[in-house]
Amino acid sequence: MMNYVEIGHSKSQVSQIVLGLMRIPQLDEQGLDSLLLTALDAGINMLDIADIYSRGRAEELLGQAFARGMKREDFYLQSKCGIVKDPLNYFDFSKEHIIKAVEGSLKRLKTDHLDCLLLHRPDALMEPEEVQEAFAQLYEQGKVLDFGVSNFNPAQIDLLQSGLKFKLCANQVQLSLCHTPMLDHGFNVNLFNEAAVGRDGGVLEYCRLHDIVIQAWSVLQHGFFGGVFIGSPAYVPLNAVLERIATEQGVTPTAVALSWILRYPGSMQAVIGTTRPQRVLESVRACEVSLSRREWYELYTAAGNKLP
């Protein structure tokens, strides 16, 4: 059974497993409809997309699915903006760009509003007051109901929040069993080793303290889109533990790997990027898995991490 967390000022109940739609340009109409219906039937009521995914094509395809009869109101719809490729890759949090990006997303998605908008990656040139102007206009026009960020550290969140009248509701960050820098430095405080290097300013702890939902992305990947670690020969010890716990609990290793993320005691979500309905069904069973503290740490160390 799916578990839900509360998000935003609307206090919407959103599924802990989120369906990420970056890869849907690989699907035909029937495949996309099947993916969305499978997710919905399994209790997933949140979709994550971005204007940059296939340069807007992913949003167009989702919009076409809504036009074919998929019910937009069944989903909490989240998109992201701020990354520009023209073809130079850069970030733009100007009022003009944010508003133009959202209007483009709404047109492609064939909807009148986003439930949530995330600023996709930090823009060093952002002016919080200018972002506030964009957010206020979008909110007052009913085009965006909640706002958050992606891949921000605590100082960047504080800087942005200083100019906002809207409380940021979510931070989407990379986290998986094989990508754990946000945890590593916490275990290695005051040590002279690579794991002790803090690269994110304690973002997990910060989000917990400030009631910001943590949305983990690349949840089954190692590295920066380095590939899936489930079944990988590069992670034999980890897969052995995943298989053992999966067998004991009557689920798949995928469910166990996702349950490891959801076990962290903040407001957690795991964004899955699969295009396969069967993988969706495997993933939602993560909510049925109960990991002991010992099992959680066993998985962490089996992934190649060392505890002091």
Catalytic residue among 53, 76, 206, 235: 53
What DSSP state is assigned to residue 73? G
- Element housing 131 (H / E): helix 128-140
DSSP strands (E only) in the chain: 4-7, 12-15, 17-20, 46-48, 76-81, 83-85, 89-91, 114-119, 144-150, 170-174, 213-217, 268-272
Under 8 Å between Cβ of 163 and 126: no
Q: What span, in angstroms and rounded, lies between the C-alpha atoms of 15 and 247?
A: 25
Residues 6+ apart with CB under 8 A from 24: 32, 35, 58, 61, 62, 275
Q: Is 297 among the catalytic positions?
A: no
Q: Is residue 294 classed exposed, middle or buried when 0-12, 13-18 and 19+ CB atoms within 10 A define those classes?
A: exposed
DSSP 198-214: -SSSSHHHHHHHTT-EE
Hey, which residues are catalytic here?
53
